[in-house]
Structure 1
């Protein structure tokens, strides 16, 4: 029985080492979250990296956040809305704000990386029928995105 202890410890050590070796990849695939504070900034992402933009709005008054422009190499994966005050909604309170979350993924780096300079992800906040009638968006959120090949 005592001969098995060193083997068991060796096995546990190998498992621990292998999980540490994979940690940088796990962090690389972790989604970054951008908010209203990040508007007007520039970020560099790698091909295959995910990121999220989370903004507060008032859909009960007809306002919603929508994608206006996607830069090359960025794909919209999902859009969801969650109440700012879930307890209020559970109590059937009317109105209130919602968090709109856009999840994006970089598909690939464009062949000419210089072409991505100046390309922005632009989200607009407006009532859709007013925007279609020519009224400008009430708010614009934008971020310059540069997609580089995976490292």
Structure 2
């Protein structure tokens, strides 16, 4: 087969792979993105606004452990690359759907030294894996 015929074929294959990859990853940034339906093997990236300089942190209360597996610990990124002291940013977690079933991904935003206090925010997402 000539090189002129292989280039379009390779391009089509690459586009197909990219389309499948984006469908393989699911991004959740708001409570309104829930409930969430995933397929076994899909990756879920959860990104929530956060500002640890206030003393508040997101804590995972329920990780939907029967259906989701953690791929990484929380990663915090400042919105301004650390230039402005006290500014907020985003906390991100990555999970993979590994088994069929259902569970809840539940996080609370509170100060760790006051566990009995009402959380300032709650993220609660029903997860179903098929």
TM over 0.5: yes
- Tell whether 2:28 aligns with 1:46: no
Q: Which has the larger radius of gyration?
A: 1
The structure richer in strand per residue is 2
Secondary structure in structure 2 of the residue aligned to 1:137: coil
Give, in angstroms, the shift of residue 24 of structure 1: 4.2
Name the CA distance, whole Å, in 2 between partners of 1:28 and 1:50: 9
- Where does structure 2 lack aligned partners over 5 or more consecutive residues? none
- Where does structure 1 lack aligned partners over 5 or more consecutive residues? 1-5
Give, in angstroms, the shift of residue 21 of structure 1: 4.5
Name the CA distance, whole Å, in 2 between partners of 1:70 and 1:94: 31
TM-score (structure 2 length as normaliser):
0.84
TM-score (structure 1 length as normaliser):
0.74
- Tell whether 2:117 aligns with 1:135: yes
Q: How many residues are treated as equivalent by the alignment? A: 128
Alignment deviations for residues 128-151 of structure 1 (CA, whole Å, 9 cap, x no partner): 1101xx223221111110011xxx
- Retained in 1: the 8 A contact 2:31–2:125? no
